[in-house]
A and B are shown apart, each in its own frame.
Chain A
Amino acid sequence: MMRLPPFTYVAARTLAEATAALAEHGHAAMLVAGGTDLYPNMKRRQFEPRVLVGLRGIRELSGVRGSAREGVTLGAGTTLSTVAAHREIATHYPALATAAGLVSSPQLRAMGTIGGNVCVDTRCNYYNQSFEWRRAIGFCMKKDGDTCLVAPGSTRCWAVSSSDTAPALVSLDARVRLVGPGGERTVPIAALYRDDGIEHLAKTREEIVTDILLPPADEWRSTYLKLRRRGSFDFPVLGVAVAARLEGDVVRGARIVLGAVASLPRSAERAEAALIGRRLTPEVIATVADLAAGPSKPLDNTDFTHPYRKKVTRVFVARALRAIGGLDAGGSAVEEVA
């Protein structure tokens, strides 16, 4: 049986206790909320914290507050199943509800938190392996080694951002509140991410993501499409989040964000720009989809081949735009023989 390595567990009851514990134990400590990402990684000895600071007992971290009119605040400890099922979120921020509802399996959505998914470790199929496997192939730079096995000449780690909710939240222009020993700060969620497979979060070790803040929904529509092999369990190997604001049938605002094709959620800025002031015609959608596929630069370190993931980027962006525009998704298959 795969087992956890020993550690000391600090059950924090307040954020102050949690940040203090992090400060006290430094690199030896890690945060844990749902544990669905951390514990498998610990069992594979990808993480070896001596101290775990449990966030579960902190009341202020859970719950959904506010409304679409004024903006919604999600406590980072809110479970993914709660986010997926939340009526206000499903109605006004569908990209987020959809993304949260597509994370892993029902059990893991009941355990995992939105904060955990936002911070989920980057993945690579040379890295998410047991200690013995990694030792056999030669440890990579993300843990215990100094080379990159997917791009051997590389000086950086190319592990893949594998959050479903992150691209959705970026497309929704969400902000995150971070609380650390020196106080709190609120930043656009895009600023939480770094293009590095190892140090993929732009926050200090002592900082805790406490809330996710969604702006007023206004007239924004959004959607999220996920590519994976099976309808459950699997991490995204491509996620496409699109949010747009239309006046009549003219696009006034647009955000297209790609997940799981880089070490961070990747905005397709040229594609976004090409949408502004345009109608969602098939021609425009085709052009924008091509532009959006540009920044999709997957490498061969997830399920499916990377050329395939790139090809599907274009398809998914077009489909997301058609969905946003309320256009026929391209006809439906002829159903049962009558």
Chain B
Amino acid sequence: MSLDISFIGILIGSIMASSVPLILAASGELITERSGVLNLGVEGMMIIGAISGFALMVLTDNLFIAIVGSMLSGIIISLIFGFLTQSLLTNHVATGLALTIFGIGLSAMLGKNYVGIPGKEFPVLFSGLKEIIPFFGPILFGHSVVLYFAFTLPFLTNYFLKKTKLGLVVRAVGDSPVSASNQGINVILIRYSCILYGGAMCGLAGAYLSLIYTPQWIENMTAGRGWIALALVVFATWSPIKVLIGALIFGGITILQLHMQAIGFRIPVQFLSALPYLMTIIVLVVISRDSRKIKLNTPTSLGRIFYKEK
């Protein structure tokens, strides 16, 4: 095993690539939850994004349309959730679970004709620089545009929530929809927007899997990543930067444990397989143990049904 510096660079590069779907889905869900809506349908929205992206790529042969289409499909399916929970006031948890089951089933049905079609190569940026610069090359360059977007997203989200007026409105709606409504804020509209935004990001996360990471469509290809993204949001105590850290730790240890196995470390493999989950939880709990800050970030009215009396 060569533990030289360029190898570590390659390793970090592949860790980053594997955390992208988690970052995207968790960042989207974070906004949804900050507005007080608990959408457990992340997995379902991701898988719909994955099949729509792949199908559009096959049909139009245009990756841009495929990416945008996957986000639109995420929006459409989250609109169902929004309509049910916001307009018909159904229970968030039950509706979200139903959305996941529905998404997995629908994607399998839509995807019947797209199984077994090899994907298209997704263009990467600055691939020349990747080879030239040791260590930093594979970390910084030669990635898809979606990866660069994913790594800026948590910072944008942080800025949005803390520094913009709209961010403040979203937080107000999540903390106390009644007071927000009394202030003249259209709570339902804000929540709808946040749900749709979450849907778009989950759709993109799915498309990253089917178009970039493992370019093909196979049923159930998200394989539980939506649930991990959901858990990340909670363990990161609704802080976008901690979501990024959590996703990187999870992706990092997943990849490291595979390398440790390949090298032949004499550690029980079952323990290594459980390590990503354990470490992510431990680290996030440790870095978020300030209870004052947790209270600050937790949307107080998460999952509670709000309706405006007329």
A and B form one complex: no
Binding site for B on A (CB under 8 A): none
